[in-house]
Amino acid sequence: MTLGPEIRAEMEQIKQRYPDPRSALLPMLHLVQSVQSEVTTEGMALCADVLSITPAEVAAVATFYTMYKRRPVGKHHIGVCTNTLCGLLGGDAVYAALSERLGVGHDESTPDGKFWLERIECQAACTHAPVMTVDWEFMDQQTPASAIDVIDQLARGEEVRSTRGPVIRNFTATERTLAFPDDGLAGEGPVADELMLAGLRVAQERGMSAPTAGQGN
């Protein structure tokens, strides 16, 4: 799908959010992916034109951050954390099971375009390890069997709800949320669960507290 005048108008909206227009580049690239399922040469050129920077400057950003893809992602992006804690608690096994089931490796799409598999360095969710994301929504404490079950449900077109967020939509819908965050879904899912609050609970039981601003060294 080409990027028509309506996408340029939305890029201009994003640009208006920032005192320095160049800061709008990251959400603008997500907007491109929400339309084209990848960051295309056309998309980079349009970003450059709207921000009055060079295409080379846009390409430098688009190729630095791994969330931006140069090939079509397809319907669902599957990310499996295999960093230290997730890896030790089963992330590597989850990734291996999904890779075998889908028949693809790291940063590859299935031939039918339904799934893109990625080995993620960190999902910043160590309390819920091992973690996988579907279209950047969390699926916590996964096992090889539960991860495959998620994939099979999505393949059948069934509803899958993320552990701490909304019902899974698709990759391009999430990319649009990253461009325009006010999607009405912020209240979906629990605010905090027992794992998130464990440290606070222990601190309260032991009468511990953090220093207020200005105290300590």
The pLDDT of residue 216 is above 80 = no
What does the alpha-carbon distance between residue 128 and residue 189 come to, in Å, rounded to a whole number? 15
Domains located in the chain, CATH noted: 5-62 (1.10.10), 76-171 (3.40.30.10)
Residue 215: per-residue pLDDT: 61
Q: State pLDDT tens for residues 73-128.
A: 999 999 999 999 999 999 999 999 999 999 999 999 999 999 999 999 899 999 99
Please tell me what DSSP assigns to residue 161.
B
- Mean local confidence (pLDDT), 192-213: 88
Higher pLDDT: 1 or 80? It is 80
Q: How far apart are CA 168 and CA 154, in angstroms?
A: 9
Distance separating alpha carbons of residues 101 and 94, to the nearest angstrom: 11
Asked if 148 contacts 155 with a C-beta cutoff of 8 angstroms, the reply is no
User: What value does the mean pLDDT take over residues 169-175?
Assistant: 97
Prediction pTM value = 0.90
| pLDDT at 87 (0 to 100) | 92
Read off the pLDDT of residues 26-76 as tens digits, 9 standing for 90 and up: 999 999 999 999 999 999 999 999 999 999 999 999 999 999 999 999 999
| Mean pLDDT score of the chain | 94
